[in-house]
Amino acid sequence: MIETSANSEQLVQDVRRLWAEVEKLERPRRFVNAEGGSVEQQRDRRLLLHHCANYAAVLALLRETGRELRLLELGCGSGALSSAFARIMPHGWELVATDYSTSLLEHARAHYRQVNLSFELLDVRTAEAGRMAWADAVFMLEVIEHLSAEMASRLLHKVHGLLKPGARFIITTLDRSAFSRPFSGYPPHVVEYSFRSMSSRLADRTWNPFAQFGVYRLVSPRIIVEAVRDEDRFGYTLNRLNRLVCSVCSRHSEVEQLRQSVAAAVFRVYARLPQRGGFELDSYLRTLRFVTTGADACDHSSFGLVVDLVKA
């Protein structure tokens, strides 16, 4: 696949459509997941934009097949973005969105029913043969950074064994290339990747069983400049402090339960506070590109990695 202005223009259009679909959703008042709320609850609009760009990149890679597809999503969370994605998919496509959390799936099924979308319980670690054999493509967005390198490798081998020949496995994660530190310190994350570290991992056939793969990039100079600035100002320090608190509390179950309850209450209040000014989506979209050729030259402007794996 060669990056052209048309590809990036289509990506921007799809991001805009996804954004519009998410904006229509009612913000759940009581539902809060382990990371302080599902994406549609988050106050950081750049985070929502990042997630919309991830789904748009999946659509860009799969649309070029030119045929009807049956898709499986791993780690759908609250289901909000899965629902938005299903609403803009080409006619004839079907999406089965999965998660291993029953509470997340109950929320998703209650709020996001539609004809071309279903939600199912699935823990890929224990999935049996045939569980994914029907899928033309599987995608897993912003999940791999929550896994150790060893766990990520086991997951790749597991999915490879479950897919039919010719099926694709698309993964997205944040890109650390532009940051001064290789790791943000964000508590739920275990490993964060740069373009080079991800490419190196994938080239290791003991770590990655997929012989055919590509590593692409979501690029926006504005997004990455703001993200680097925020991390350097206070983000890294707050992340490390939060990580320390989580580590200490996790040693005592009662203390950890109390921490989670307090955090959930704080996030609920924070999510309801009015925001100052509006989010100028168009100004961000003007700098957004999906780079599939020459991706190694985008270290200072890339905020996201998109990995496309194909089973031979």
CATH (domain of 62) = 3.40.50.150
Question: Residue 101, exposed/middle/buried by CB under 10 A (0-12, 13-18, 19+)?
Answer: middle
pLDDT of residue 78 exceeding 50: yes
Q: Report strand pairing: 117-121 vs 94-99.
A: parallel
Q: Which residues contact 39 (CB under 8 A, 6 or more apart)?
A: 22, 47, 48, 51, 77, 78, 80, 81
Q: Stretch 76-83: mean pLDDT, rounded?
A: 93
- pLDDT given at position 8: 86
Tallying the residues shown for the chain, one arrives at 312
Torsional sign, CA 182, 125, 158, 2: negative
User: How far apart are alpha carbons 300 and 225 in whole angstroms?
Assistant: 9
More confident residue, 36 or 209: 209
User: How far apart are alpha carbons 9 and 295 in whole angstroms?
Assistant: 17
pLDDT of residue 229 exceeding 70: yes
pLDDT of residue 216 exceeding 60: yes
pLDDT of residue 185 exceeding 60: yes
Q: Are 153 and 180 in contact (CB under 8 A)?
A: no
pLDDT of residue 37 exceeding 70: no
Give the number of domains in the chain: 1
Backbone torsions φ then ψ of 27, nearest 5 degrees: -75, 115
- pLDDT given at position 81: 95
Backbone torsions φ then ψ of 100, nearest 5 degrees: -95, 0
Q: Are 121 and 99 in contact (CB under 8 A)?
A: yes
pLDDT of residue 223 exceeding 60: yes
pLDDT of residue 75 exceeding 90: yes
Q: Stretch 188-201: mean pLDDT, rounded?
A: 97
Q: Stretch 229-242: mean pLDDT, rounded?
A: 94
pLDDT of residue 205 exceeding 50: yes
pLDDT of residue 1 exceeding 50: no
- Segment holding 118, helix H or strand E: strand 117-121
* Range scoring the smallest mean pLDDT among 4-8, 33-37, 63-67: 33-37
Q: Are 114 and 122 in contact (CB under 8 A)?
A: no
Q: Token pair of 304, please?
A: 């996201």
Q: Stretch 102-113: mean pLDDT, rounded?
A: 90
Backbone torsions φ then ψ of 256, nearest 5 degrees: -65, -40
What does pLDDT average to over the chain? 91
Q: Is 216 helix (H, G, I), strand (E, B) or coil?
A: strand
Q: Token pair of 195, please?
A: 């373009």
Q: Which residues contact 2 (CB under 8 A, 6 or more apart)?
A: 292, 293
Percent of the chain with pLDDT over 70: 93
- pLDDT given at position 30: 62
pLDDT of residue 4 exceeding 70: no
Q: Which domain holds residue 115?
A: 5-310
Nearest C-alpha neighbor of 179 from the set 226, 144, 216: 226
35 pLDDT band, cuts 50/70/90, is low
Distances (CA, A) of 71 to 25, 107, 143, 301: 23, 21, 17, 30
pLDDT of residue 6 exceeding 80: no
pLDDT of residue 160 exceeding 90: yes
- Partnered with residue 120 across adjacent β-strands are 98
